[in-house]
């Protein structure tokens, strides 16, 4: 099954359109419209991801369908671009099933094999027969074989669609096992059943004996081929790894290309490519020790991240394509002569048939099943068992795989005539997918709502604050007592990052965050008032003379931990003309490589120091308001406590600024001296130009300083756990977050 490239439409059209001709004679037309479609699909997936952050009450698949629907209305010509059926299987189904197979727990799957087989094979067959007859009865124009094909495509369930609702629903371990195992196997059984139904529709005949023989070859041949290819691929990779020839890039390429190669190779020997991919994925699972080598861990981490992106894009593209099919309901030609009411009735009837049969099947299975630990059958507590069966029923919506299967319906019959009611079949299938997704999105959060333990979350948030507070204190101590001069600039920047993390965590989770926010706003107002006083004293210097200092101030304040607009406090001019000029000049990047800029940087740091002093003085006033505890209200006490926290923050910022202007100096500035705002025409006597040197050192040691900070964070977690201030569960969660941050420092 190899491709040959040929121009279509003569020399003039060769640049616009290509035909990929397969060995079996099938043609794939690649045109500019196809490339436009790809770009549109990717843009729609990105847009739906953004909307998912805004509209949290709707699951991501439904958002992707909605975005696809809008895109099809805006660009209807792109919704008509078709992909070859085999190419659709290779591009979408093969990687989806391969990844599902590799992620499946073999032991768990084997322990629940009869339940999974019952749902993934027997239930699929029963559903195909029932739904096929229902569809044919409502719309006789759809031949029975084609109706069975539609029902077969509706066999697979979509675990990814339910996973997208994970933040709002909670499934039991048993339900997760059944759904994941079913989704893995019923994809293959649905594809095989669909292929037989389509073959019957194309030939107009069906032989049970021939079908059984062909099924055995496809089914067992595909599994056997997959086992052989998977074992060979795994052995080959182990040999390459043993010889030290496996790089991260090679490993990722091997992982990503494997399902495509397995599928094409299996189809070439006329066995099921889908089953081969599933079998190979299970065989290629890696159950070796996790702590074998750092290189292997890095390969797995990169490959997993890469797969997450690929699977997300595939699912997103398929749901967007589903949305792009929906506007066809407005097209009379797509209805094949049927009324809209008849088509909608068929969608609802097929959906109801599939859901009811699935529920009855699962209810009977779970009521008869014995609990492996207690030996009690589910019939002993029927209400709970039936509710669990209902949840499992609804948690099996149709989705990406179903759409990818139905899109492989051939365009023409063997005699060259159009496939009867193809658009109508695709539309009915799309409607059933949408109905099951809507049902899951509406019912699951109500039947199986996630139980959020607010006490546990509060405890974890407090643990994070304690850890970050400990790291900040330790870093300040090291900077004061032990830090080498060349390492200090980088460590100060790392300290700023931890302070920002700490403040954001406090704003998000502190029980008195509203008081803190108000007090922070008051502090910024006080700093702005002090900056206005300083500016008034320097009015005779002129706007253009003062402008460089105000341009540099926001960057300096941001570098000591101000954010969300706080960094701009102090850089405000008194006239509209000056403010306009300030905004215009901020586009220009500051340069600290010359003597003049270093002098400006030095004086602006002194300006920033004065603002920190104003903040500290104000916060001390707030704190002293509660020195007389009898006359202090509860709210004032809380403000005093918050003021203590903020004083430490501003003292840390002050320490950072003093460290910058005193870096490596023989002459230290008096910390108690008041700022007399003036502008130095040259560096103060005894002071050296160290700005460029500090920035160079900060860049050079940035990763090392961040790594040391993360080590301090782990030390704080161990200390707090040893002291019993945080639980083992919280400590483990916090360590996992640190490990993730550490991976960002890897070369």
212 in a structural domain: yes
Give which of 177, 172, 158 is closest to 116, Cα–Cα: 177
CB of 600 within 8 A of CB of 606? no
User: Two tokens at 198?
Assistant: 């389509």
Domain boundary among 447, 474, 496: 447
- From CA 521, how far away is CA 642, in angstroms rounded? 13
- From CA 465, how far away is CA 473, in angstroms rounded? 12
Label residue 359 by pLDDT band (50, 70, 90): very high
626 in a structural domain: yes
Label residue 354 by pLDDT band (50, 70, 90): very high
Asked if 437 and 581 sit in the same domain, the reply is: no
- The more confident residue out of 300 and 470 is 470
Handedness of CA 578, 579, 580, 583 (dihedral sign): positive
Asked if 578 and 685 sit in the same domain, the reply is: yes
**Whole-prediction pTM:** 0.65
Asked if 498 and 437 sit in the same domain, the reply is: no
Asked if 434 and 537 sit in the same domain, the reply is: no
Asked if 427 and 556 sit in the same domain, the reply is: no
Domain boundary among 447, 476, 504: 447
187 in a structural domain: yes
Planar angle of CA 135, 123, 371, nearest 5 degrees? 150
Asked if 541 and 603 sit in the same domain, the reply is: yes
Asked if 196 and 289 sit in the same domain, the reply is: yes
Most confident of 155-164, 276-285, 349-358: 349-358
User: Two tokens at 396?
Assistant: 């099996």
Asked if 413 and 548 sit in the same domain, the reply is: no
738 in a structural domain: no
Q: Which run of H or of E encompasses 3? A: strand 3-7
48 in a structural domain: yes
Burial of 747 (0-12, 13-18, 19+ CB in 10 A): exposed
Asked if 80 and 227 sit in the same domain, the reply is: yes
Q: Which domain holds residue 221?
A: 3-447
Asked if 424 and 519 sit in the same domain, the reply is: no
- Tens of pLDDT, residue by residue over 385-409, are 898 889 888 888 887 778 778 877 8
- Integer CA distances (angstroms), 615 to 480, 519, 531, 566, 648, in order: 22, 11, 11, 13, 11
Label residue 137 by pLDDT band (50, 70, 90): very high
724 in a structural domain: no
Given a cut of 50, is residue 668 above it in pLDDT? Answer: no
| Number of domain units in the chain | 2
Label residue 690 by pLDDT band (50, 70, 90): low
Asked if 424 and 534 sit in the same domain, the reply is: no
User: Two tokens at 617?
Assistant: 């003085």
Domain boundary among 447, 464, 496: 447
Label residue 21 by pLDDT band (50, 70, 90): very low
Asked if 404 and 271 sit in the same domain, the reply is: yes
User: Two tokens at 41?
Assistant: 């699909």
Contacts of 263 (CB under 8 A, 6+ apart): 89, 90, 94, 273, 274, 276, 277
195 in a structural domain: yes
35 in a structural domain: yes
We report the CATH number of the domain holding residue 316 as 1.20.1530.20
- The more confident residue out of 453 and 57 is 57
């Amino acid at each position: 099954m190899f491709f040959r490239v040929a121009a279509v439409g003569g020399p003039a059209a060769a640049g616009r359109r290509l035909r990929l001709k397969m060995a079996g004679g099938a043609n794939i037309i690649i045109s500019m419209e196809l490339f436009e479609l790809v770009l549109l699909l990717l843009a729609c997936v990105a847009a739906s991801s953004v909307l998912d952050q805004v509209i949290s009450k709707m699951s991501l698949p439904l958002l992707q369908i909605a975005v696809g629907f809008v895109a099809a209305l805006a660009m209807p010509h792109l919704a008509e671009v078709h992909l070859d059926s085999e190419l659709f299987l290779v591009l979408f189904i093969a990687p989806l099933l391969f990844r599902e197979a590799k992620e499946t727990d073999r032991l768990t799957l084997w322990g629940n094999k009869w339940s999974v087989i019952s749902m993934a094979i027997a239930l699929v067959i029963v559903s195909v027969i029932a739904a096929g007859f229902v569809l044919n009865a409502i719309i006789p124009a759809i031949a029975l074989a084609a109706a069975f094909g539609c029902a077969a495509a509706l066999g697979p369930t979509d675990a990814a669609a339910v996973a997208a609702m994970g933040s709002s629903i909670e499934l039991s371990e048993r339900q997760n096992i059944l759904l994941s195992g079913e989704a893995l196997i019923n994809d293959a059984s649905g594809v095989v059943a669909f292929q037989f139904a389509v073959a019957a529709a194309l030939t107009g005949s069906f032989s049970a004996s021939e079908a059984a023989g062909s099924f055995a070859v496809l089914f067992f041949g595909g599994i056997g081929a997959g086992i052989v290819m998977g074992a060979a691929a795994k052995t080959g990779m182990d040999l390459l790894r043993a010889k030290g020839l496996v790089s991260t890039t090679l490993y990722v390429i091997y992982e990503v290309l494997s399902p495509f190669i397995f599928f094409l190779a299996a189809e070439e020997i006329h066995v099921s490519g889908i089953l081969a991919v599933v079998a190979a994925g299970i065989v290629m699972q890696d159950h070796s020790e996790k702590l074998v080598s750092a290189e292997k861990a890095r390969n797995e981490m990169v490959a997993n991240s890469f797969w997450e992106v690929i699977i997300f894009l595939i699912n997103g593209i398929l749901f967007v394509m589903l949305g792009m099919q929906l506007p066809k309901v407005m097209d009379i030609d797509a209805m094949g002569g049927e009324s809209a009411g008849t088509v909608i009735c068929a969608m609802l009837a097929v959906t109801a048939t599939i859901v009811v049969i699935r529920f009855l099947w699962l209810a009977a299975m779970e009521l008869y099943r014995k609990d492996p630990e207690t030996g009690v059958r589910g019939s002993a507590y029927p209400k709970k068992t039936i509710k669990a069966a209902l949840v499992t029923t609804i948690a099996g919506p149709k989705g990406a795989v179903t759409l990818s299967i139905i899109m492989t319906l051939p365009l023409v019959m063997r005699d060259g005539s159009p496939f009867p009611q193809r658009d109508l079949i695709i539309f009915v299938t799309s409607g059933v997918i949408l109905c099951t997704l809507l049902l899951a999105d509406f019912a699951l959060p109500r039947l199986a709502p996630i139980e959020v333990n607010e006490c546990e979350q509060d405890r974890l948030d407090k643990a994070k604050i304690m850890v970050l507070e400990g790291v900040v204190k330790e870093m300040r101590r090291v900077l004061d007592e032990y830090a080498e001069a060349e390492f200090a600039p980088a460590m100060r920047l790392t300290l700023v990052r931890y302070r920002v993390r700490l403040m954001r965590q406090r704003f998000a989770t502190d029980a008195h965050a509203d008081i803190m926010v108000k007090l922070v706003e008051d502090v910024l107002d006080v700093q702005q008032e002090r900056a206005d006083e300083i500016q008034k004293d320097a009015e005779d210097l002129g706007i253009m003379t003062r402008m460089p200092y105000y341009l540099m101030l926001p960057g300096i304040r941001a570098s000591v931990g101000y954010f969300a607009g706080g960094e701009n406090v102090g850089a405000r001019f008194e006239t509209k003309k000056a403010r306009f000029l300030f905004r215009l000049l901020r586009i220009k990047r500051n340069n600290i490589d010359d003597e003049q800029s270093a002098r400006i940087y030095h004086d602006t740091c002194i300006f920033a120091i004065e603002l920190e002093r104003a903040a500290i003085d104000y916060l001390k006033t707030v704190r002293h308001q509660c020195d007389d505890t009898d006359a202090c209200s509860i709210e004032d006490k809380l403000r005093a406590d918050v003021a203590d926290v903020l004083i430490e923050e501003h003292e840390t910022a002050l320490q950072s600024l003093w460290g910058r202007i005193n870096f490596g100096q023989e002459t230290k500035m008096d910390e108690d001296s008041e700022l007399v705002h003036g502008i130095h025409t040259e560096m103060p006597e005894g002071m050296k130009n160290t700005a460029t040197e500090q920035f160079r050192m900060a860049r050079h040691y940035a990763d090392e300083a961040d790594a040391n900070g993360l080590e301090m964070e782990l030390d704080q977690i161990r200390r707090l756990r040893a002291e019993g201030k945080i639980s083992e569960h919280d400590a483990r969660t916090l360590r996992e977050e640190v490990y993730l941050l550490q991976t960002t420092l890897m070369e």
